[in-house]
Chains A and B, each alone.
Chain A
């Protein structure tokens, strides 16, 4: 087990090094003078020259590369001249929002998908199975930014459920046309903007130390629609996997022998077959963390959710390379770490795997 983990860790370090290298090359081949780009819009020659010297951009590429690797090793991702801030500080500030969103989406997915998949797999070709199959087909096929907008439209605008979501503008085409509640939308409700006023830790500490539930309620209201938006693809995917896994497992001889022994069906399903089904599901969750991160970029944009994804889009629009590099490398490191954890879990669930 330990040997296996060390090997995986070494592989992971290799991958992270590869990712850093790719990001360095991308910046190096991107058109334009990096000093001009880094200095940001409207910077004068003096500032550009200062940036060039401070960042060592007048040195050969190889020494820049080694410098970059060296500073990342000590946790320094460089300086964003555009934002006038350390990249590491920017990334750390944005991490909690993204992690909360990703975890909430995964929880939504598991809570809905596992029971749905079990029901679907044990009642093949019954209405419940058709419903679950249709749901998972729609779930993997719907673009999540559109899903997010439709949730805002249907739940927020049409039914007036006060979920915080993006601010919709009230003035549009001409200065003389003023918006009015229409026959298509019954929107009587003005959205607050999607800026997060409260994080999970603050909400929990309010519950613990001030016996106040309102912060937690506010946090839940903020995160529900984004979590549903991000979680739907996963829910659909895990439903499918659980369904096919259950079908496979239920056909195996051990199930027949347990039934013959008179074990209650519910015990067979949830204690034995589901446990065996979880192995491929956990692997897929690990592999799909990338999809989750990509989905988070989109979801954060739709809901103005102040996480890493939204910051990445801002950085791309500003061509702020230090921040782009920092965020992408951080996401890749997260992917590698989670997959090592998944492999360890996998090992725990199925000891035969560690040999291969």
Chain B
């Protein structure tokens, strides 16, 4: 499926440019965060009430302090809230550890990003291949459906779909905690199930379009004609000849769509339609009303989203440059 030429192109552009290395580096960090969250976190991310005991105020990040006024016997006194060494990035407005929530937030983004993209690929690629290969009415129908889907802004369609299906978080058990390696960490992680499905429903049409284009150009290729003249069935031609040769642009597109989904999930969580509180987007919304005094609550999760999306985009650029210069920016979707 991946030819030697492709492999050497990938290797060459990796060694020539700094950007793919940065992308891969960030991705490794995020994957480690996702896999080993219970071991890296210092606190249960859902555990509330970590406040400064005297004033009930949030801890600032290490090395910072802030002043607040506290009523003592009816008099307001100014006190300085110092950071607490166990809360590296401070605590949020309900007293949860910001660092631990940052680590756990990666899980939501990565799992939703990968599973929604995979689902979209499984829906879109077969439909696109069939439409492009057979052409005719099936193809016309698909193109009209695709045009209609594309007329909905992704976020707006996602919001409408969530309005119908509701927000349904799915609890995924955590093997590290189950095996007893991380005492006190949550045993299941809530992943926004509706958002995953809705994300796939929003982006599948891009996969269908690309697969259709590939199938259309390949169906008249010499080797496909040859296979047909030997009496190879349509199913076999599609699976053995057309699908493998269409994979390159599909992989490039899939990479870019992971970034689209991560941003979509964060946006939905920010708007309050995600169904899990462990999402980075949700955390940004929570810090928003206290932005002036406790900006750290919103700052760190935003950096998390940005780094995740940057790494995926850098990898997408790397794949595109090395594999397929023909997938242009308009395929970006979003």
Contacts and interface: CB of A to CB of B under 8 A. Distances in A.
B47 interface: no
Contacts of A319: 163
A16 B248 CA distance: 33
A131 to B, nearest CB: 14
Contacts of B183: none
A27 B306 CA distance: 35
B310 interface: yes
A108 B29 CA distance: 35
A48 interface: no
29 contacts: A14-B147, A15-B151, A23-B160, A26-B160, A140-B313, A142-B305, A142-B309, A143-B284, A143-B302, A143-B309, A150-B302, A169-B290, A177-B55, A177-B69, A179-B293, A180-B67, A182-B66, A182-B292, A183-B64, A183-B65, A183-B67, A187-B292, A237-B329, A280-B328, A288-B330, A297-B153, A298-B271, A312-B156, A316-B273
B68 A180 contact: yes
Interface residues of B, number: 72
Interface stretch (B173-181, B218-226, B230-238, B259-267): B259-267
Contacts of A182: 66-68, 292-293
Interface string B154-187: 1111011111101000000000000000000000
Given A137-B313, A143-B306, A178 B68 contact: yes
B152 A184 contact: no
Contact of A176 (B70, B289, B294, B305): B70
B55 to A, nearest CB: 7
Contacts of B330: 280, 283-284, 287-288
A246 B87 CA distance: 49
A241 interface: yes
Contact of B164 (A14, A30, A280, A283): A30
A326 B156 CA distance: 12
B204 to A, nearest CB: 14
Given A180-B67, A297-B156, 10 more contacts: A143-B266, A146-B306, A153-B295, A180-B68, A181-B67, A184-B60, A241-B329, A294-B153, A298-B270, A331-B156
Interface in B250-305: 259, 263, 266-267, 270-273, 281, 284-285, 288-296, 298-299, 301-302, 305
Contacts of B292: 153, 157, 168, 179, 182, 185, 187
Contact of B310 (A14, A138, A183, A237): A138
B322 to A, nearest CB: 15
Given A331-B156, A336-B151, A184 B295 contact: yes
> Chain A CB within 10 Å — which of B19, B67, B295 has the most?
B295
Given A19-B152, A153-B291, A316-B159, A178 B69 contact: yes
By Cβ-Cβ distance, the 5 closest A-B pairs, closest first, are A294-B155, A18-B148, A146-B302, A182-B66, A290-B153
A313 B263 CA distance: 18
Interface in A159-191: 166, 168-169, 172-174, 176-185, 187
Contacts of A103: none
B144 A294 contact: no
B306 A328 contact: no
B56 interface: yes
Given A140-B313, A141-B310, A153-B291, A180 B69 contact: yes
A112 interface: no
A25 to B, nearest CB: 9
A212 interface: no
Nearest to A335: B151
Interface of A: 11, 14-16, 18-19, 22-23, 26-27, 29-31, 137-138, 140-143, 145-146, 149-150, 152-153, 157, 166, 168-169, 172-174, 176-185, 187, 237, 240-241, 280, 283-284, 287-295, 297-298, 301-302, 312-313, 316-317, 319, 324, 328, 331-332, 335-336
Nearest to A11: B147
A328 B157 CA distance: 8
A184 B147 CA distance: 49
B78 interface: yes
Contacts of A283: 330
B35 interface: no
B68 A152 contact: no
A335 B153 contact: yes
Nearest to B166: A31
Contacts of B68: 177-180, 182
A145 B153 contact: no
A150 B155 contact: no
Contact of A145 (B51, B78, B161, B270): B270
A145 B147 contact: no
Nearest to B305: A143
B147 A18 contact: yes
B88 to A, nearest CB: 16
Interface in B67-109: 67-71, 76, 78, 93
Contacts of A176: 70-71
Interface string B1-35: 00000000000000000010000000000000000
Contact of A291 (B76, B154, B259): B154
Contacts of A142: 302, 305-306, 309
Nearest to B154: A294
A24 B292 CA distance: 43
Contacts of B67: 180-183
Contacts of B239: none
Contact of B295 (A18, A141, A185): A185
Nearest to B331: A287
A183 B281 CA distance: 26
